[in-house]
Amino acid sequence: MPMLSIHSLEPEAMHLPPGTSEFLGCQRRHTLPASEFRCLTPRDAISVFEIEREAFISVSGTCPLYLEEIRHFLTLCPELSLGWFEEGRLVAFIIGSLWDQERLTQESLALHRPGGRTAHLHILAVHRAFRQQGKGSVLLWRYLHHLGSQPAVRRAVLMCEDALVPFYEKFGFQAVGPCAVTVGSLTFTELQCSLRCHAFLRRNSGC
């Protein structure tokens, strides 16, 4: 798979009449919401992959999801994703799919099981320019509330490295033991979270 560059996604400079660029910039600020949360679509796949590639390959040498896998999940189950956009730019995202077994397996990395009652969180990532601002926490909280509004989804599961376990525990996740899934030499802890409390909070928040 060819390596993609964030710079390749930037529009080329245009030669416009004097004053036009200022007008367009002003118009853009008035037409794009300052901050927006929405489910992702296949059109967002490249932006998602650019953020993910920078966040993970530099650390672990691999990505949880590659571009075609991102498109796969955003086609099959876009309602299990959530993106945070600021002025039209993707700054953070979560991608999930449904799973129908008690524990995660190697198969769960690539499958969406429509009859499942468990949301498998494949990835949470934040653009490098927006890290250390609490955006991952805000997005995860909103995502769990979003899942809580879907009656068929009873719980959320994920796998992470041991250092990240305390982060997810703050949101109600509980460790259930070592995960059966491995990626190369990397091992993970599996965590799960009941969505009942998030569904209750959403119903009583007016969201």
- Check pLDDT > 50 for residue 23: no
- Check pLDDT > 50 for residue 8: no
Of the chain, the end-to-end C-alpha distance in Å amounts to: 41
Torsions phi, psi for 121 (to 5 deg)? -85, 110
- Between CA 85 and CA 87 the distance in angstroms is 6
Exposure b/e, 163-199, CB count within 10 A at least 16 = b = eeeeebeeebbeeeeebebeeeeeebbbbbbebeebb
Could you tell me which residue, 170 or 204, shows the higher pLDDT? 170
Q: In this prediction, what percent of the chain has a pLDDT beyond 70?
A: 77
Mean of the per-residue pLDDT values of the chain: 84
Domains along the sequence of the chain with CATH = 35-157 (3.40.630.30)
The whole-model pTM stands at 0.80
What's the pLDDT at 207? Answer: 42
In this predicted model, what pLDDT tens digit does every residue of 24-69 receive, in sequence order? 344 444 455 689 999 999 999 999 999 999 988 767 778 889 999 9
What's the pLDDT at 189? Answer: 98
Active-site positions read 97, 111, 122, 124, 168
CB-based contact 66:109 (threshold 8 Å): no
Residue 73: strand, helix, or coil: helix
Q: What value does the mean pLDDT take over residues 171-195?
A: 95
Could you tell me which residue, 137 or 18, shows the higher pLDDT? 137
